[in-house]
Amino acid sequence: MLSRLLDPRTAIFMAIMAALTIGVPVLNGAGLLPDYLVPLLGKWLCYAILAVALDLVWGYAGILSLGHGAFFALGGYAMGMHLMREIGPRGVYGDPILPDFMVFLNWKELPWFWLGFDSFPFALLMAMLVPGLLAFVFGWLAFRSRVTGVYLSIITQAMTYALYLSFFRNEMGFGGNNGLTDFKDVLGFDLQSGSTRAGLFVLSAVLLMLTVLVCRAVVTSKAGKVLVAVRDAESRTRFLGYRVEGYKLFVFVLSAVIAGLAGALYTPQVGIINPSEFAPAESIMVVIWVAIGGRGTLIGAALGAVLVAAMESWLTGVAPELWLFALGAMFVLVTLFLPKGVLGLFGAGNLPAFAKRSEVPA
Amino acid sequence: MRALLCSFFMILALASASTAETLDRLREISAGFVTKDYGQVQATAEALAATGDARVATALSALRGGDLRFRKSDKQVFRVEKVGRDYALFDPFTGEAMGQAGSRETSKIKVNNAIRNAIDGLLGGLTLRADDPAIRLDAAEALFKSRDPGALAALGSAIEAETDGSVRDAMREARASILLASAQNEPQALIEAVETIRARGGQDALGLLAQIGADYPEPVQEAAAQARRGIEQSLMLWGYGQSLWQGISLGSVLLLAAIGLAITFGVMGVINMAHGELVMLGAYTTFAVQEVIRTSAPHLFDVSLLIAAPLAFLVAGAVGVAIERGIVRYLYGRALETLLATWGVSLILQQAVRTIFGPNNREVGNPSWMSGAFELGEMTITYNRLWILVFALTVFVLLLLILKRTPLGLQMRAVTQNRAMAADMGVRTAWVDAMTFGLGAGIAGLAGVALSQIDNVSPNLGQSYIVDSFMVVVFGGAGNLFGALAGAFTLGIANKFLEPLAGAMLAKIAVLVFIILFIQKRPRGLFAIRGRAVEN
């Protein structure tokens, strides 16, 4: 079983991740790694999880979702709601139950959909359940109607755009434009303290490793082979007797749940969650991580996410006006010259059928 | 004949005599202004107005504006204009210059709000007999609002003498408005007034009728209630009309933004994510053209858009051809990769424009023929929106002609339907692809010229339209211009009809959800192309 999951590349990746999981907190504790880097690295790992989740659906099932940021953000909001409740009477207005923004809007009691979020397990469950449910309903409708290719991409974009606009509304009860912020602690641990941050980083690293293992388990199973078949020749697979929409729905929901978890870890490390996470451009960003790292490789997606995020952090610090040029050039150059991504440079092409098949214009 | 002439001259003589006589009389009355008592000032103003002399109007409006002063030494009243620290004095009635005076030598005739309101009504009565129908109309409207009972007699005689139909109607409405202000009037006259007001319609008529309370006679109240229902109904219809117009206007904007996309998507199966940025380039071209005109040839400003349109088409079209030749052509058959690469191009274009023109909004002016608005019943229609609708439809028709009537169009359709077969028949498909992409991009540039008139010209301009224009194309069905037309107007009108019910944001969300559900039903849009081409 384990040998099936851990092909050489994945094994190397796991080893590196394990080293990081132990190394980063130790180095930080020894004062060799500055404090600000720990949550930053944790944030990149959350991006990496999201990228792996997208790679599962795009790289293996051919579903290019331009709305995966929505699942991520929903998970983030679920955790953010819990963190808001944790603030308790320490908010600016000192209301023991209502978060500050509700006091500000003159709300008298907690809306029904905020009930239960004072419990951490419930919030965690919601961080998986809400994105999963949205993905289930959306995927069930879309795959059953055989909406594919570009059309599917565009309605996933419509989905995240609709959520983006919704969460901007103060009446929605999610803090409107400002989102949720000013978190104090999680499960009693102070979010500002170094040890909590190191703990969150370790959690992110572990979740990334788990995600890669789960996704490997899916794609190396029989179902995984069917998924690749769907990606490369959907109609043919259907004619062979497979319930294509069932397979697609399964990975789509799984991917959304993983994305939601990533979001739930992202919020406490970044300290804020707001509607901009739903912006269509953010979701397209996820796609470029996967494309740059190498589509259909899982660990390539993780690599791409960390590479691009690191580059963004560095370049927006050094020469902010160059960042969009660099990002745009990456999009163009990678699609033109690196169809297999950075990982493809190392002869990792396990995608022989790629790039040749997919829609051929009439 | 002689008798006639004779009487004519007599009248003339009388008239001139009366002019000289009334001027003295006016001066005499105006001596009443030399007081600090507001009541007396108002009484004097009313007495002046009662003479019905047109020259009183200047004096009264000067009084209202605080420009009427009297000289302390001889108590003579003047209209003044400030010259440095002194005042230039003018006769309040004839406007004749009467020298200057220091500010200490004269004293202002003070007015309060009650007097100002009274003067508004009085002026209305005075100008009812002006030569210019527009002034008479304004006067009638002023009386309609001020409801000054003192003007009733003047109104009555003005209505008798009025020759212009619409002015007479306005005067009748003013009279009705004044009559309705008091419950003491004849019930029959009140009911007639209600009818007149009802015929006028509109929001202020509704407000007027709402003031008819329990102190009015029973039949009048009934008539008023009925009239209000009638007006409310017609107002609601006009409201629908306004929503419809706004929807059509939004639809025309969407059509402009989406139509180029429909071509590239339909003919080439290429999703051009940089489409919004091509729109932005068109808007910036307009800005650049206007800048050049402002500095070197300001008299050409009114035709700046006519100059900008072809330039924007060329600029955006050239960039489009460059994108196609440089990137897109290597990615045919990989629609999703094209989507990513063109997204990259859009980021580069955005940042390039930000670097060149700066991140802030740039001001693009409206030419005179595009600014302002006109009223159609209870609807307000702005000229820029109207012209954009005309422009969008023109572009649509032109494009249709290109597709149906030109060799390029024929080849484009051939490539859409069966690329391989078209190539076999000798169509240079690569050239057709480049031209198609260029055409789609050029139309995006034209859309930018139009959008620069109603939206902020900033590097983010394209971003705000890209999602919407995709929705239009997906909803209408790719590759079909009529699909884009139907899609744009359906979405635009649906959006504007939902807005009053749910608010702008919710309306947009509802439309997005509707599209997501609609695609489930018709995965290829409203007007799907049928046949082999789709099956690939």
pLDDT tens, position by position, A246-281: 999 999 999 999 999 999 999 999 999 999 999 998
Instruction: Give residue B356's pLDDT.
Output: 92
pLDDT in tens, A97-127: 888 888 888 888 888 899 889 899 999 999 9
Residue with tokens 């012209």: B387
Instruction: Give residue B19's pLDDT.
Output: 56
Q: List phi, psi (to 5°) of B113.
A: -65, -35
**Sign of the torsion formed by the C-alpha atoms of B317, B319, B323 and B326:** positive
Q: Is A140 on the interface with B (CB under 8 A)?
A: no
Which residues are CB-contacts of B482 (< 8 A; sequence separation ≥ 6)?
Answer: B476, B527
Q: What average pLDDT does this structure show over B470-493?
A: 85
H or E stretch including A340?
A: none
Q: Is A154 on the interface with B (CB under 8 A)?
A: yes
Environment class of residue B244 by beta-carbon count within 10 Å: exposed (0-12), middle (13-18) or buried (19+)?
A: middle
Q: What are the Cα distances from residue B241, in Å, to B235, B249, B391, B489?
A: 9, 12, 21, 15
Radius of gyration for chain A, computed over Cα atoms and rounded to the nearest angstrom: 21
Instruction: Check if the beta carbon of residue B487 is closer than 8 Å to that of residue B472.
Output: yes
- Taking the CA atoms of residue A38, residue A43, residue A49 and residue A51 in that order, the dihedral angle to the nearest 10 degrees is -130
Residues from chain A that touch B343, judged by Cβ atoms under 8 A, are 284, 288, 328, 331
CB contact under 8 A, B341 and A327: no
**Sign of the torsion formed by the C-alpha atoms of B145, B151, B154 and B155:** positive
CB contact under 8 A, A362 and B347: no
Residue ranges per structural domain of chain B: 26-114, 127-216, 239-535
Q: Is A241 on the interface with B (CB under 8 A)?
A: no
Instruction: Give residue B21's pLDDT.
Output: 61
Token pair for B167: 């002015």
Interface of B with A in 237-276 (CB under 8 A): 265, 268-271
pLDDT in tens, B293-327: 988 888 888 888 899 999 999 999 999 999 999 99
Dist CA B493 CA B252 (whole Å): 10
Residues from chain B that touch A329, judged by Cβ atoms under 8 A, are 344, 348
Q: What average pLDDT does this structure show over A81-92?
A: 88
Which residues are CB-contacts of A31 (< 8 A; sequence separation ≥ 6)?
Answer: none
- Is residue B9 pLDDT above 60, yes or no? no
Per cent of chain A over pLDDT 70 is 95
**B360 forms bridges with which residues in the sheet?**
none
The alpha carbon of B319 is separated from its chain's Cα centroid by a whole number of angstroms, namely 35
pLDDT in tens, B268-293: 777 788 999 999 999 999 999 999 99
Task: Give Dmax over CA atoms of chain B in angstroms.
Answer: 105
Q: Is B356 on the interface with A (CB under 8 A)?
A: no
Write B190-197 long-range contacts (CB < 8 A, 24+): B190/B216, B190/B217, B190/B220, B190/B223, B191/B219, B191/B220, B191/B223, B194/B220, B194/B223, B194/B224, B194/B227, B195/B223, B195/B227, B196/B172, B197/B173, B197/B227
Task: Give Dmax over CA atoms of chain A in angstroms.
Answer: 64
Which range is least confidently modeled, A139-143, A205-209, B14-18, B306-310? B14-18
Instruction: Check if the beta carbon of residue B76 is closer than 8 Å to that of residue B70.
Output: yes
Q: Is A135 on the interface with B (CB under 8 A)?
A: no
- Is residue B1 pLDDT above 60, yes or no? no
Nearest one of B208, B238, B200 to B224, comparing CA atoms: B208
Dist CA B208 CA B273 (whole Å): 54
Residue of B nearest to A59 (CA): B336
Which range is least confidently modeled, A303-307, B83-87, B92-96, B147-151? B147-151
**A164 band by pLDDT with thresholds 50, 70 and 90:** very high
Of A41-45, A143-147, B109-113, give the range with the top mean pLDDT: A41-45
Beta strands in B86-141 (DSSP E): 86-90, 97-102, 106-108
CB contact under 8 A, A328 and B417: no
Instruction: Give residue A357's pLDDT.
Output: 40
Q: Which amino acid is at A49?
A: I
Residues from chain A that touch B345, judged by Cβ atoms under 8 A, are 328, 331-332
Which residues are CB-contacts of B37 (< 8 A; sequence separation ≥ 6)?
Answer: none
- Is residue B529 pLDDT above 80, yes or no? no
Environment class of residue B27 by beta-carbon count within 10 Å: exposed (0-12), middle (13-18) or buried (19+)?
A: middle
Nearest one of B500, B221, B245 to B378, comparing CA atoms: B245
Which range is least confidently modeled, A17-21, A137-141, A208-212, A358-362? A358-362
Pairing, β A272-273 against β A189-190: unpaired
- Taking the CA atoms of residue B290, residue B293, residue B299 and residue B305 in that order, the dihedral angle to the nearest 10 degrees is -40
Dist CA B109 CA B40 (whole Å): 11
Dist CA B347 CA A331 (whole Å): 9
Range of the domain at A98: 2-346
Instruction: Check if the beta carbon of residue A335 is closer than 8 Å to that of residue B340.
Output: yes
Token pair for A66: 């331009």
Measure the CA angle with vertex A94, ends A92 and A100; round to 5°: 55
Dist CA B170 CA B406 (whole Å): 55
Q: Is B464 on the interface with A (CB under 8 A)?
A: no
Dist CA B216 CA B208 (whole Å): 13
Instruction: Give residue B175's pLDDT.
Output: 85
Dist CA A129 CA A78 (whole Å): 10
- Is residue B198 pLDDT above 50, yes or no? yes
Q: In what order do the strands lie in the sheet with B68-71?
A: B97-102, B86-90, B77-83, B68-71, B106-108
**B447 band by pLDDT with thresholds 50, 70 and 90:** very high
Terminal CA-CA length for chain A: 44
Q: Is A353 on the interface with B (CB under 8 A)?
A: no
Please report the DSSP string for A72-91 in residue order.
HHHHHHHHHHHHHHHHGGGS
Q: List phi, psi (to 5°) of B85.
A: -95, -5
**DSSP character for B466?**
H
Q: What average pLDDT does this structure show over B29-44?
A: 82
Q: Is A236 on the interface with B (CB under 8 A)?
A: no
Q: Is residue A313 part of a domain?
A: yes
Residues from chain B that touch A339, judged by Cβ atoms under 8 A, are 337
Choose the closest CB to B340 out of A149, A325, A335.
A335
Dist CA B165 CA B169 (whole Å): 6
Q: What are the Cα distances from residue B398, in Å, to B153, B303, B442, B473?
A: 60, 21, 13, 19
Residues from chain B that touch A159, judged by Cβ atoms under 8 A, are 512, 516
Q: How far is B348 from chain A (nearest CA, A)?
A: 5
Q: How many domains does chain A have?
A: 1
Instruction: Check if the beta carbon of residue B201 is closer than 8 Å to that of residue B231.
Output: yes
Instruction: Check if the beta carbon of residue B258 is closer than 8 Å to that of residue B481.
Output: no
Q: How far is B334 from chain A (nearest CA, A)?
A: 6
- Is residue B6 pLDDT above 60, yes or no? no
Task: Report the CATH fold assignment for B239-535.
Answer: ABC transporter involved in vitamin B12 uptake, BtuC (1.10.3470)
Q: Is residue A355 part of a domain?
A: no
CB contact under 8 A, A153 and B418: no
Residues from chain B that touch A280, judged by Cβ atoms under 8 A, are 467
Instruction: Give residue B277's pLDDT.
Output: 93
**DSSP character for A247?**
H
Which residues are CB-contacts of B442 (< 8 A; sequence separation ≥ 6)?
Answer: B260, B313, B314, B316, B317, B320
Q: What average pLDDT does this structure show over A82-93?
A: 87
Instruction: Give residue A203's pLDDT.
Output: 95
Instruction: Give residue B522's pLDDT.
Output: 82
Instruction: Give residue A358's pLDDT.
Output: 41
Per cent of chain A over pLDDT 90 is 57
Q: How far is B315 from chain A (nearest CA, A)?
A: 20
Instruction: Check if the beta carbon of residue A278 is closer than 8 Å to that of residue A272.
Output: no
Nearest one of A155, A211, A343, A185 to B516, comparing CA atoms: A155
Per cent of chain B over pLDDT 90 is 20
- Is residue A217 pLDDT above 80, yes or no? yes
- Is residue A25 pLDDT above 50, yes or no? yes
Indicate the average pLDDT of chain A. 89
**A91 band by pLDDT with thresholds 50, 70 and 90:** confident
Radius of gyration for chain B, computed over Cα atoms and rounded to the nearest angstrom: 34
CB contact under 8 A, A157 and B416: no
Dist CA B536 CA B521 (whole Å): 20
Q: What are the Cα distances from residue B390, in Å, to B273, B397, B517, B533?
A: 27, 11, 32, 34
Q: Is B508 on the interface with A (CB under 8 A)?
A: yes
Residues from chain B that touch A288, judged by Cβ atoms under 8 A, are 340, 343-344
pLDDT in tens, B155-189: 887 888 788 888 888 888 888 888 888 777 788 88
Most B CBs within 10 A among A138, A143, A151, hence the mutation to make, goes to A151
Choose the closest CB to A150 out of B335, B347, B513.
B335
Q: Count helices and strands (H / E) in chain B.
A: 21, 7
Which range is least confidently modeled, A132-136, A241-245, B46-50, B384-388? B46-50
